Structure formats: C-alpha cells, structure tokens
C-alpha cells in the first residue's frame, strides 16, 4: 500500500469518513472538522504507524493529507 493510502486509511478509521472521500488536498480542519486535540491524536497515530516522530510545532504546519504524507516520506528512516 502506498504511504498516501495508508495515511488516508488511518484518517478514515479515526474520523469515520469514507476513504474514497478523502483526497490529498483534504484539509483536516476545514474538511474533516478536526479540532486541535483531534489533530494531536491523529499525529500520534501517524507516529505509531510509521515510526516517525512529528514534533509538536510541526503539527500546525500539517494541514492536509498531502502535507502529512510528504512529511512522513521525507522523515522516514
């Protein structure tokens, strides 16, 4: 499974939004209505799944699925 697909699956499982309705440009706050605490939990799930640490100050910059995928790709071991 491509990394982007995995990211979408995690987001879909957590938000109960169908994976087919989540795209690269989907915005966590505007499109999925996540609040800041939801975002912390979402990033924790990403960290656990991909073994990549996402610094707290970075979280605010990760607004879309593409942002997260790109961050994980460039920081994966």
The owner of tokens 């979402």 is 42
d(CA 43, CA 73): 14
Toward other proteins, which CB reaches closer, 18 or 56? 56
By CB under 8 A, residue 40 contacts other proteins: yes
Q: Would you say 73 and 5 are in contact if contact means Cβ atoms under 8 Å apart?
A: no
Question: DSSP state, 19?
Answer: G
Which of the stretches 4-12, 23-31, 34-42, 62-70 binds other proteins when contact is defined by CB under 8 A? 34-42
Of the pair 18, 35, the CB lying nearest other proteins is at 35
**Is 5 an interacting residue with respect to other proteins (CB under 8 A)?**
no
């Amino acid at each position: 499974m491509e990394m982007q697909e995995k990211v979408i699956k995690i987001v879909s499982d957590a938000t109960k939004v169908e994976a087919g309705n989540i795209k690269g440009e989907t915005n966590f706050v505007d499109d999925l209505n996540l609040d800041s605490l939801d975002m912390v939990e979402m990033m924790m799930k990403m960290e656990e799944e991909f073994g990549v640490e996402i610094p707290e100050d970075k979280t605010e910059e990760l607004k879309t699925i593409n942002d997260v995928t790109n961050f994980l790709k460039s920081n994966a071991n």
